[in-house]
Chain A
């Protein structure tokens, strides 16, 4: 526990010189639970690597790209600004997606796996028929993602309905849900990159998908749903 918060606090951030136009740099968000608390659905080893290595790398590279962007924009270097877009989209997307993902998970003692009640439950029933049907659909679409990607439950604010979407790395860029449509709000995302499950499930992604529902934090999804559909 102490180790995790030590790393997450990022004391160097405060000491670092502020970038020329005050570019906001990002740091690794804390997990609201210990690495081992999602077992046996997701192993502690995976959680630690996923959080401390993969997510941290996205943040580090995102910060670097932002600094380079700031410098290039200040100089009026248009071609560099354009060239940096894919790094920003990939690493920034990785940071955004994983930040949501940690909130989408919760240990069983904190309500993980408990199906939603109230308005989100009603919306799921009317959009997908039943809660089980939604799970099935997300599992099927998640398993079908080729290579690396995510499967999402999103709220389409414009049409006021729930949708299941997948995002993948097309043209070697990982598209976060935000690029799928400005009015799509992610409620729930499941990382189906191999690093999210490989050490525990090897290539049996369907098993990972089946088990992850036991630690999905529907409380958070309901909160976001209620806020965004108000």
Chain B
């Protein structure tokens, strides 16, 4: 099943909720009960947004022996699926969240540091989708071309970046994620640690790759040896291709080059 968000032009809520929309004050007013939606719909059923569990882009045993099939079965099949189901349950009850894309949903429910209960589910769905795509069979090694250049620019060398990333993951307390992000304002790459479900989208930064350091991510394969898990991820699992694709996309939003202003 693929991930999709059902958006209908018939829904009067649409995306009027956001503060960026000048008509926000008009759109946000009455239609919370959803009754109006049901009347206006051509089908007699109400339209609901919901998400499906997206499969990792490889078979569950493809990451062996670095991440076991058993781990994928439980981590994806039970944890990730659980988050998707919890999110759908939340969305069924909360009409005001209808019509958002996943990114928007995460930012809105994060509510500037006072997260709604829906935030945990939404963010963890996104985080895990991102995580599976951040790995590949035959992963590891090094990034190339532009991404490597940017890493060398912002961290000095790839070795230095790797050391910092591993250190961040080892020293994070409790249930955490570690990210390589492109910071929008500062226009550079950085390593960010977040706890529980938080991800860099809430600060409007662009994640390039990420690592789940919750215990459930590594306990079956490595028990308490978090350091070994992290090094295995860096050596054999991380997909620099996926990271490069995200970097390329990020550069359409963040200008990383010096403007070539001709000297008169």
Contacts and interface: CB of A to CB of B under 8 A. Distances in A.
Most buried by B among A53, A170, A203: A203
A195 B175 contact: no
A198 B224 contact: no
Contacts of B216: 194, 198, 202-203
Interface string A102-141: 0000000000000000000000000000000000000000
Interface stretch (B20-28, B57-65, B193-201): B193-201
A179 interface: no
A131 B123 CA distance: 37
Interface residues of B, number: 21
Contacts of B174: 147-149, 168-169, 172, 174, 193
B195 A147 contact: yes
Interface in B76-125: 78-79, 82, 120
A90 B96 CA distance: 39
A7 to B, nearest CB: 15
B193 A198 contact: no
Interface string B203-244: 000000000001110011001100000000000000000000
Chain B interface mostly: mixed
B223 to A, nearest CB: 6
Most buried by B among A54, A172, A193: A172
Interface of A: 49, 53-54, 57, 86, 90, 146-149, 168-174, 193-195, 198-199, 202-203
30 contacts: A49-B224, A53-B224, A54-B224, A86-B173, A146-B120, A146-B196, A147-B195, A147-B196, A147-B197, A147-B214, A148-B215, A169-B175, A169-B195, A170-B195, A172-B172, A172-B173, A172-B174, A172-B176, A172-B195, A174-B174, A193-B215, A194-B216, A194-B219, A195-B219, A198-B215, A198-B219, A198-B220, A202-B216, A203-B78, A203-B79
